A and B are shown apart, each in its own frame.
Chain A
Amino acid sequence: MATLVELRDVVKHFPVARSLGEVVRGEHPAVHALDGVSFDVGSGDAVAIVGESGCGKTTLGRLMLKLVEPTAGSIAFDGAPLAGLAGEGLRAFRRQAQLVFQNPFDALNPRFTIYRAVAEPLLNAGIDKAEHLDRVAAAFRRVHLPDLDRYLDKYPHQLSGGQLQRVVLARALVLAPRFLVADEPVSMLDVSVRAGILALMREVRDTMGLSAVYISHDLALVRYLCERTLVMYLGCIVEDGPTEEIVRRPRHPYSQALVAAVPVPDADQSRAPLPISGNVPDAREPPSGCRFRDRCPRAMARCAEETPVLRSIADGHRVACHLDLA
């Protein structure tokens, strides 16, 4: 299976405003959003990136779409590095890689009609106007919004959350991209609506053969969409493997805490205390060595001195931990 997206040692630091003392001392404090992330997305894969706020998953999504430039490291799409893209090359990339947003109410310009919003990518790509209506109609069919005429001249505030998210998806699909990044696509929707959108995304992925990356904080949801999951903590990947494995037998101590913390709709679920302590450290000064060490119930001396690297413990399953987890 061909590799579509390739990330190697990607680092992203966001500089923060410096105090006078820091300027004088020549220090450059920065938020370490991502520190050395490497993974591949194969053609047709559906990969989930999960983690809590501050783990860098959103930044990673933006980097993969060249909305943000990395501080170091490389990202390649279909063999071509993103760094060098400009002009026509950049436009070609934009046609192939799209984003689905978290907040459907904000992802659409409130002054555009629905038609205009969905047709805009076609305009930007230079597609002949005569084809616009057909392609928009095709996109609407894909997202199961029948009766195109019902929606064409409506404005975003007239549609419900579920309908709007379908429109956002239609806009992302109208250019028939090969790669989709979905950033918390259902977290702002009502529960009874989420299922519909998730089912739709699964269907679209299957029928269009897309490669997709789903960014979410909700482990329970990504199970329905992705065969593979990356667990991130404070800018690093701590575990990368089949979703079912990570949910049933998480290896990394952080993954274990994460899975244990998710509540389920079962009154008899486990209420055992979590195998984790403390709070997420400041991203400006991440701990040395393994970033999880001051919250890890099984930290050793080695964890403070040496940063663990992602190593394979089974086929398609990598963990970044000094413990023997095979």
Chain B
Amino acid sequence: MAERADPVLPVRTGLRRAEAASAAQAGWPRLPVLRRMAAMPLRDPFAFTGLLIYLLFVLVALFADQLAPLDPLEILFTKAGKLAANVPPGLDFPLGTTNLGRDIYAQLVHGTRSALAVGLSAAIIVAIVGTVVGLVAGYFGGMVDAVLMRIADMALSLPFLPFVIVLTGFLGASTSNIVFAVALLLWPNSARVIRSQVLTLRERAYVEAARVTGASSWRILFVHIAPNILPLSFVYAAIAIGWAIITEASVSFLGFGDSESVSWGYMLQDAFSSQALSRGQYAWFVPPGVCIILVVVAGFFISRGYEEVFMPRLRGR
């Protein structure tokens, strides 16, 4: 029963301390939570690595045309006029070519665009929908809460991959449909966690104070409660990026993906069906696999960092 106390912080006494005063100075971003969120990667080496990886891929996606001028789907021929199929990695083709004569390196680089598009759009949808639903359900409670949470429960009970496949089967196998399907299944997680956080925040004295001073419910929701929820939204957004990319890769690998665009999953499926593994053509399937791993892991590192922004007690002292 007589356990050790929590580590003690300097007792608050009301005399201004120099560091606290300078932190309050107007600087951008003004909102302390945004400032903490922006500063987080600087403190967490994992999140920093994740951020670097993202940055790298974003740059690759932006400059894909300059980095890999060849069309990824263009079938190439050797100087002799024969199909440049399964050419081993060399000066002309850094990663070699596929069995249909397409440049693997070009596919990898252009595939980045597809991956990031999928990841980011899914993340944005999940963040927005999950946050709004969580806020509304948590704050207003009652019937609204019950209905929204039952919808969330239904979405959560659907098997992930089969559902995505079936939906793209119905709507057509395009990248945007895959993103839509992924977002549809991922928002409930963030909505539920955000909702429970809102339930706690709703009882705080300053929220009651806002009500007493005449603030409307919407104002309370977006001015008092939402800023405290933002780091959580980021956590789930970062997780969603990884999930979306993996799902897209899985769907493409299974052959249900978008055949118009080149994605890493498409590359894996292509390599698999041409028996690249048994032929030992590692340069074809290892790079896209590694890229998927890197992006997803980066997403998790960043989400872990934001968890600590949100719950400072997780931070080691």
Contacts and interface: CB of A to CB of B under 8 A. Distances in A.
A contacts B directly in the complex (CB < 8 Å)? yes
Interface of A: 65, 67, 91, 94-95, 97-99, 101-103, 106-111, 113, 120-121, 124-125, 153-155, 157-163, 168, 171, 175
Given A106-B206, A111-B228, A124 B13 contact: no
Contact of A158 (B20, B26, B208, B216): B20
A124 B31 contact: no
5 contacts: A99-B208, A106-B204, A106-B206, A108-B206, A124-B213
A157 B205 contact: no
B10 to A, nearest CB: 12
Interface string B15-34: 11100110011100001110
B69 interface: no
Contacts of B219: 124
B213 A157 contact: no
A158 B24 contact: yes
B214 A121 contact: yes
Given A98-B213, A161-B14, A175-B213, 7 more contacts: A91-B214, A97-B212, A101-B208, A111-B228, A158-B17, A159-B14, A160-B15
Interface in B216-272: 216, 219, 224, 227-228
Contact of A155 (B14, B32, B206, B216): B32
A153 B24 contact: yes
B215 interface: yes
B213 A106 contact: no
Most buried by A among B12, B216, B224: B12
A109 B26 contact: no
B150 interface: no
Given A101-B205, A106-B205, A158-B24, A111 B33 contact: yes
A94 B213 contact: yes
Contact of B214 (A95, A157, A161): A95
A255 B213 CA distance: 35
B219 to A, nearest CB: 7
Nearest to A183: B205
A175 B209 CA distance: 14
Contact of A171 (B24, B25, B209): B209
Contacts of B224: 109
Contact of B26 (A106, A121, A153): A153
A111 B31 contact: yes
Nearest to A108: B206
Name the residue in B16, B24, B204, B206 with the highest tally of chain A Cβ atoms < 10 Å from its Cβ: B206
Nearest to A153: B24
Nearest to B212: A99
Nearest to B219: A124
A158 B212 CA distance: 24
Chain A CB within 10 Å, residue with most, of B13, B15, B213, B224: B213
Contacts of A113: 24
Contacts of B15: 160
Nearest to A65: B212
B291 interface: no
B24 A155 contact: yes
Given A106-B204, A106-B206, A109-B206, A120 B32 contact: no
B151 to A, nearest CB: 24
Nearest 6 A/B pairs, CB to CB? A160-B14, A121-B213, A94-B214, A124-B214, A106-B205, A109-B206
Nearest to B33: A111
